[in-house]
């Protein structure tokens, strides 16, 4: 039922309107009344009625002033103005404000109900329009998250000016204006699944993490597979440090309830400029690289003084030669990414010893061990032959081991090549996965519940990972692909059958006829009826 609020300074008139109409019988709820605009405004803020009936001439605050204030704060509210004056200026002001009805007193209960009934239909249409728009925004969230992810990458590359970043952020409805910034990188995954595979509990935890980030002044970005990035913002050092500490503490408390979920976070250094966010990201990335060098959960802070836990509760095993083995290298080869190679190598070599690579014997040992580890990985996990590996990777000879720099460059290229081979191997697998996903869409497009999460579960991928590779393989986010697919079938049905548009909506996955009509017009530029008439008219010419 629609809520109605009455503002009238004449008690007798107010009582007559309130008591002489069967509000519920006509589908309304009389939610409140007031004798002047000043008192009414605070009550309207609380009740938020659908319709406000108000007199123009009242003490303290008149009806026109009240109407202006209502429309400024609640533009969706409808207003009926009552007046005993046939003054054109009043009517013109009312139209300018956006008042729905301008009625002369006295008005009977029956006539007022007729006006309310006419207005209620308009309100319901507006509500349906708002609900459809809200659902559309929700459905398009995947595309928004992909756009945000791309924006984050551009921001941390440091190739854009502050003004360019601010302009891009505005287009995405992101507020990045602040005096202090810090970046936190976080990866979570279920130990019951490989990284990238589907886990409902990970999706649930990720939603909780979004809330924690938002509550502490951070913007959430998708980052890598099962990865997230937070851009914390504040106006001074104390505030941003508090935000980061509070958020990481709450996240750790959340993870306690999910013992099967592994997490690791890297925290950057606070910077003062938008263009310095890249520096904060680099420090966070250096700390984040320890994900591949330990099996423990923690948040680490990257700084010039070295890496340190967020607090005493984070205790990481000391990394020394006895902990550096092929398992750590394999761990990075399976899940690491090219931008992380530098950080991983530096921390890996520091773990062996600060001067290890300076010693000829240890250089040879590290290079040979790394080579054989890559060879084992490419042969047993990627299916490459030794001959194929030899075509891509050079064996570490004397020239490579001649000095520290050449050895370091070789190790970098060795790992980079392995990751590239892994990517090529994954692309083949991704192609098969996307084909499976598209087949599933073709068979289930009429299911209104079809979503990215459902599709991810079907192909055993995480939603974030599937979203990224779906766009990579098809050139479109999943939701746009699904919407376009449904709309194309709807257009065929509109042209080839006499079925009603609401029936066609159900057939292509939209049980709500209002949403189907809204979405069709949003994507095709015309209503379903207009499209049918135009196409059939074109066919007869």
| CATH number of the domain that residue 527 is part of | 1.10.10.60
Domain residues for the domain of 467 are 445-540
Q: What is the pLDDT of residue 316?
A: 39
Q: SS3 of 232, please?
A: strand
Of 90, 109, 139, the position where a domain reaches its end is 139
Q: What is the pLDDT of residue 193?
A: 55
Do 128 and 256 reside in the same domain of the chain? Answer: no
Instruction: Tell me what pLDDT residue 414 has.
Output: 92
| Element of type H or E holding 457 | helix 452-459
Q: Looking at residue 270, what is its pLDDT? A: 95
**3-state SS, one letter per residue, for 200-212:** HHHHHHHHHHHHH
The reply to whether 41 and 73 lie within a common domain is: yes
Domain check: are 17 and 129 in the same one?
yes
- CATH number of the structural domain spanning residue 161: 3.30.70.270
The answer to whether residues 522 and 474 belong to one domain is yes
Instruction: Assess whether the previous peptide bond of 23 is cis (omega < 30° from 0).
Output: no
Chosen domain end from 396, 424, 440: 440
Same domain for 403 and 341?
yes
Residues 71 and 164 in one domain: no
Shared domain for 431 and 494, answered yes or no, is no
Co-location of 488 and 410 in the same domain: no
What tens-digit pLDDT sequence spans the chain (541 residues)?
Answer: 889 999 998 888 888 888 888 888 888 999 999 988 888 998 999 998 989 998 888 888 888 888 889 988 888 888 888 887 665 566 667 777 778 777 777 777 788 888 888 888 778 877 887 788 778 888 877 788 888 889 999 999 888 899 999 999 999 989 999 999 999 999 888 876 554 555 678 888 888 999 999 999 999 998 865 589 999 999 999 999 999 999 999 999 999 998 888 899 999 999 999 999 999 998 998 888 788 777 788 899 987 655 555 543 443 343 344 445 677 888 888 888 888 888 888 878 877 765 667 767 677 778 888 888 888 888 888 888 877 878 888 888 888 888 888 888 999 999 999 998 888 887 777 888 899 999 999 999 999 989 998 898 888 887 888 888 898 889 899 999 999 999 999 999 999 999 999 999 999 999 989 899 999 999 999 999 999 988 877 654 3
Last residue of a domain, one of 399, 423, 440: 440
Helix-strand-coil split of the chain, %, nearest 5: 60, 10, 25
Say what the pLDDT of residue 315 is: 36
CATH number at residue 61: 3.40.50.2300
- What is the residue whose two structure tokens read 């659902």? 135
List phi, psi (to 5°) of 184. -125, 130
- 303 and 162, same domain (yes or no): yes
427 and 481 share a domain?
no
Same domain, 174 and 309: yes
Count of domains for the chain: 4
The verdict on pTM exceeding 0.75 is no
> Do 393 and 412 have their domain in common?
yes
């Amino acid at each position: 039922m629609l809520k109605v609020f009455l503002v009238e300074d004449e008690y007798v008139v107010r009582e007559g309107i309130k008591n002489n109409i069967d509000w519920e019988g006509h589908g309304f709820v009389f939610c409140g009344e007031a004798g002047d605009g000043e008192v009414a405004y605070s009550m309207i803020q609380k009740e938020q009625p659908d319709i406000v009936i108000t007199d123009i001439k009242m003490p303290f605050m008149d009806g026109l002033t009240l109407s202006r204030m209502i429309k400024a704060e609640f533009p969706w509210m409808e207003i009926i103005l009552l007046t005993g004056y046939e003054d054109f200026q009043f009517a013109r002001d009312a139209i300018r404000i956006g008042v729905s009805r301008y009625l002369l007193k006295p008005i009977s209960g029956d006539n007022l109900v007729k006006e309310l009934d006419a207005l209620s239909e308009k309100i319901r249409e507006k509500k349906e329009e708002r609900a459809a728009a809200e659902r559309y925004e929700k459905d398009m969230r995947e595309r928004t998250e992909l756009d945000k992810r791309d924006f984050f990458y551009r921001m941390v590359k440091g190739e854009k000016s502050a003004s360019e970043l601010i302009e891009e952020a505005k287009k995405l409805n992101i507020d990045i204006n602040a005096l202090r910034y810090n970046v936190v990188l976080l990866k979570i995954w279920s130990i019951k699944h490989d990284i990238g595979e589907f886990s409902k509990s990970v999706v649930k935890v990720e939603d909780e993490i979004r809330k924690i980030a938002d509550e502490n002044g951070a913007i959430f970005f998708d980052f890598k597979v099962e990865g997230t990035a937070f851009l914390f913002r504040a106006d001074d050092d104390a505030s941003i440090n508090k935000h980061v500490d509070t958020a990481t503490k709450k996240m750790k408390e959340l993870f306690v309830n999910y013992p099967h979920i592994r997490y690791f976070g890297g925290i950057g250094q606070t910077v003062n400029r938008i263009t310095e966010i890249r520096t904060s990201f680099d420090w966070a990335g250096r700390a984040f690289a320890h994900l591949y060098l330990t099996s423990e959960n923690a948040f680490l802070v990257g700084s010039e003084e070295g890496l340190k836990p967020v607090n005493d509760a984070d205790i990481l095993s000391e990394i020394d030669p006895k902990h550096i083995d092929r398992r750590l290298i394999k761990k990075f080869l399976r899940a690491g990414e090219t931008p992380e190679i530098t950080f991983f190598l530096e921390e890996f070599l520091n773990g062996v010893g600060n001067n290890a690579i300076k010693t000829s014997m240890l250089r040879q040992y590290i290079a040979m061990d790394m080579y054989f580890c890559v060879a084992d990985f490419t042969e047993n996990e990627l299916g490459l032959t030794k001959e194929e590996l030899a075509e891509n990777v050079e064996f570490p000879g004397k020239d490579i081991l001649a000095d520290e720099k050449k050895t370091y460059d070789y190790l970098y290229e060795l790992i980079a090549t392995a990751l590239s081979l892994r990517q090529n191997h994954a692309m083949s697998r991704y192609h098969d996965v996307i084909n499976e996903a598209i087949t599933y869409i073709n068979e289930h497009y009429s299911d209104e519940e079809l979503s990215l999460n459902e599709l991810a579960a079907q192909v055993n991928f995480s939603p974030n990972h599937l979203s990224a590779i779906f766009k990579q393989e098809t050139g479109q986010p999943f939701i746009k692909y699904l919407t376009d697919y449904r709309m194309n079938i709807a257009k065929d049905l509109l042209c080839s059958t006499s079925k009603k548009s609401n029936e066609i909506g159900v057939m292509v996955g939209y049980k709500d006829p209002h949403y189907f009509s809204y979405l069709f017009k949003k994507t095709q530029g015309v209503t379903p009826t207009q499209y049918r008439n135009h196409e059939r008219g074109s066919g007869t010419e």
